[in-house]
Amino acid sequence: MVVALLTAAGVGSRMKQDIPKQFMHVNNKPIIIHTMEAFQKHPLVDAIMVVTLPAWMDVLKVYAKQFNISKLKWVVPGGATGQESIHNGLEVLSKELGDDEVVLIHDGNRCNVSQEIISDSLATFKEHGSAITAIPCVEAVFRSGDGGISSTDSIPREQLYRTQTPHVYTLGKLLWAHEEAGKRGITNTAATCTLMQALGERVYFSKGSETNLKITTVDDLMIFEALLATKKDEWLK
């Protein structure tokens, strides 16, 4: 079985709106539903889990029914951190699924994920046993030690990759990682890729895209709205 575990338990403080960003509407549809539809559509994804804010769990179920998200099987309350929220979801899965089942962990507010990105992440997982969606860094990058005022230290961009989601592992591997994190006092990693790196694991990159953006600010929301209204010209390769 392939399960998409969507994290949607953030409060969206950087968005500075009245409701969590994952429930804000774009084109008359909540952001989290846009995300769920991508995995609903993908033929290799069997089921969807959403980890979300406890007060919004029933709202999410209503939206899923309204928009015909038939693959939604679990809605789980989130934790105080992203790492804790993912762990909550994995614990529920561990009671129903075996260690060899495949889990795609994806940001619930990364709602423009393409079918190609999902497919490539699963293909990379099949080849290497794990997959982290990533894109090469194209900007010049500097390291600053004074809060971004100045720098004399640049980092070769050819060595840098920006990670996105999905992150794909077996359920057993993910449960191991979170158990090890508890033993080692690792409590608030930014993402599964950084958790695996902290545990000494090599990560393998699958293909991401600049359009696979994460909705964090109002600017991101505006870009997503523009992307929905744009189609790729036929002459572009």
Q: Is residue 233 part of a domain?
A: no
Q: Is residue 237 part of a domain?
A: no
Q: Which helix (H) or strand (E) holds 131?
A: strand 131-136
Q: Is residue 64 part of a domain?
A: yes
The domain total for the chain is 1
Dist. CA 203–CA 140, nearest whole Å: 24
pLDDT tens per residue, range 39-78: 999 999 999 999 999 999 999 999 999 999 999 999 999 9
What percent of the chain is predicted at pLDDT more than 90? 84
pLDDT tens per residue, range 154-182: 999 999 999 999 999 999 999 999 999 99
Q: Is residue 236 part of a domain?
A: no
Q: How confident is the model at residue 19 (pLDDT cuts 50, 70, 90)?
A: confident
pLDDT tens per residue, range 81-125: 999 999 999 999 999 999 999 999 999 999 999 999 999 999 999
Domain span at 47:
2-228
pTM of the model: 0.93
Residue 16 above 70 pLDDT?
Answer: no
How high is the pLDDT of residue 230? 82
Q: Would you state the torsion angle of the CA atoms of residues 104, 108, 110, 115, taken in this order, to the nearest 10 degrees?
A: 50
